[in-house]
Amino acid sequence: MKKILGLFLIATIAGFTAVATYAGLNEKESQVVQVVQQQPTHFTRITPAESSTLDFTVAAERTVNAVVHVRTQTELDPMYNPWMEFFGHEDEPQIQQGSGSGVIISPNGYIVTNNHVIDGAQDIMINLNDNRSYEAEIIGVDPATDLALLKVDADNLPTVSFGNSEELDIGEWVLAVGNPFDLTSTVTAGIVSAKARNINLLRPDVDRKIFPIESFIQTDAAVNPGNSGGALVDTNGNLVGINTAIASRTGSYSGYSFAIPVSIVEKVTRDLMEFGDVQRAFIGVRINDVNEELATELGLKEVAGVYVDALIENGAASDAGIQPGDVIVKVGQTEVDNVPELQEQVSRYRPGDELGIEVLRDGNSKNLFLTLRDRDGGTELGKVAEKKVARILGAQLVDVSSSETAALGIQGGAKVTSLESGKFSTSGIEKGFIITKVDGQKIYDADDVTSILKSKSGGVLIEGVYPNGDKAYYGFGM
């Protein structure tokens, strides 16, 4: 009996102990949950109702039909094959095919794309989202911004409306629309990661008077080869940029892409439509970003603005009273913190336009007004007749360098640096050809060619020489 009572007492005590232990664990769990619930959260949960603001279907519907597939074909110089020569056959030219994207900006067939998509192409085909196809002509190109304007013979085409890239905020949602890897009508989404990026993508070419302007919109929307020339749009489907490049070590998307802001695109395409060339304005200064060391030296309150290192002789800045050592902080009504932002703002203007500039000088703010000029110091816009000649010829011409004139024994000339569809390519003129005479008239520089041909009609005889010394003659009708 004693053993039974002992066992009963032990069991009772163990039972109470177990209950007490269980209650204690529950209390600790309750405290843990309570503590977690009281912690401040750094994340916002989007409810189903709120998530409707992230619906991109409207933007996609407004854009996808106005983004086209650009296909190019370029004839390259034939590769030397000694066996072909041995058997008496000529080397056949190599055909290179390429593709990219473009954006329809007018119902009558104007399309903007990247210059690198169509550079050197002899044939350009445009494929619409509804499977219609058109042959395109090049209206004009701008290597300085990597933009090109094409035209197809069509009406009532779907278009994308221009938005406002300056109003884009960091973190704002955007869509990239294009044809990556030949996958037509592809839409990807991301946010604006940064603005006014200079990634040294475009290279200067002093002989061709190409001085790059880079002020890219950086996004994390997935962009791949084939997206070049496609649309970057906001959530309303308005064009805010033209996709141009990716940051990648593999050739495929690795996290960041870059687009030309529509503030530049709109100005360039308008000029190409009207003149066939970009009417680029210059302040007439040599500039650098303001760094911390310079800001301290100048006594600036902020590390911001653009430092004027030197002035161009007889430039707009010199005449307006800007001085070396000034810091440009505002162009028009827009503050500028670095060189890309300054270039983007000035690129919206033409020679002859008046512009207000705010500078800091010796700690004081000064407002100056200047009349913008072209690179040669003029204020007149390009003449339409000369631009028309360039489009007819389908070629870009530059002055021959002094080393080439010495090597070839010529006194001057105009060198063909690139060929598109036009009179030159159809007549057989090849890239690198140096024009020395037009209808017997001596050619000293590229301007001589356009000045002679702008009033020409009927047959034209072109004489010249190739870099290897071979002389050639070509004829065509204007």
Helices (H), 338-468: 339-346, 384-393, 402-408, 423-427, 446-453
State pLDDT tens for residues 168-194: 999 999 999 999 988 888 999 999 999
Q: Is the pLDDT of residue 374 over 90?
A: no
d(CA 326, CA 328) in angstroms, rounded, equals 6
> Could you give the percent of the chain with pLDDT greater than 90?
53
Single out the catalytic residue among 101, 165, 193, 228. Answer: 228
- Position 44 scores a pLDDT of 38
Least confident of 83-87, 115-119, 226-230, 408-412: 83-87
Q: Is the pLDDT of residue 3 over 70?
A: no
C-alpha pair distances (Å), 20 with each of 17, 27, 28: 5, 11, 12
d(CA 103, CA 226) in angstroms, rounded, equals 13
Q: Is the pLDDT of residue 252 over 60?
A: yes
- To 10 degrees, what angle do helices 384-393 and 262-275 make? 90
State pLDDT tens for residues 128-174: 999 999 999 998 899 999 999 999 999 999 999 999 999 999 999 99
Helices (H), 285-422: 292-298, 316-320, 339-346, 384-393, 402-408
- Position 386 scores a pLDDT of 65
* 228 part of the active site: yes
Kindly state the average pLDDT of the residues 439-467.
84
* 116 part of the active site: yes
Is the Cβ–Cβ distance between 280 and 144 less than 8 Å?
A: yes
Single out the catalytic residue among 69, 116, 165, 425. Answer: 116
State pLDDT tens for residues 384-435: 556 567 777 888 888 888 888 888 889 889 999 888 778 888 888 999 999 9
Give CA angle at 75 (74, 81), nearest 5°.
140
- Position 334 scores a pLDDT of 93
Confidence band for 211, pLDDT divided at 50, 70 and 90: confident
d(CA 341, CA 146) in angstroms, rounded, equals 17
- Average pLDDT, rounded, for the chain: 83
Burial 422-448 (b: 16+ CB within 10 A, else e): bbbbeeebebebbbbbbeeeebbebeb
Kindly state the average pLDDT of the residues 245-258.
84
- Position 140 scores a pLDDT of 87
Least confident of 115-124, 250-259, 343-352: 250-259
Confidence band for 78, pLDDT divided at 50, 70 and 90: low
Q: Is the pLDDT of residue 39 over 80?
A: no
Element (H, E) at 172: none
Single out the catalytic residue among 142, 146, 326, 399. Answer: 146
Kindly state the average pLDDT of the residues 235-263.
90
pTM surpassing 0.95?
no
- To 10 degrees, what angle do helices 446-453 and 384-393 make? 100
H helix and E strand count, the chain: 12, 25
Is the backbone of residue 182 left (phi > 0), alpha (psi -120 to 50) or beta? left
> If you ran DSSP here, which 8-state letter would residue 136 be given?
-
DSSP states along 51-68: GGGG--HHHHHHHGGGEE
The three-state secondary structure class of 316 is helix
* 99 part of the active site: no
- Position 208 scores a pLDDT of 63
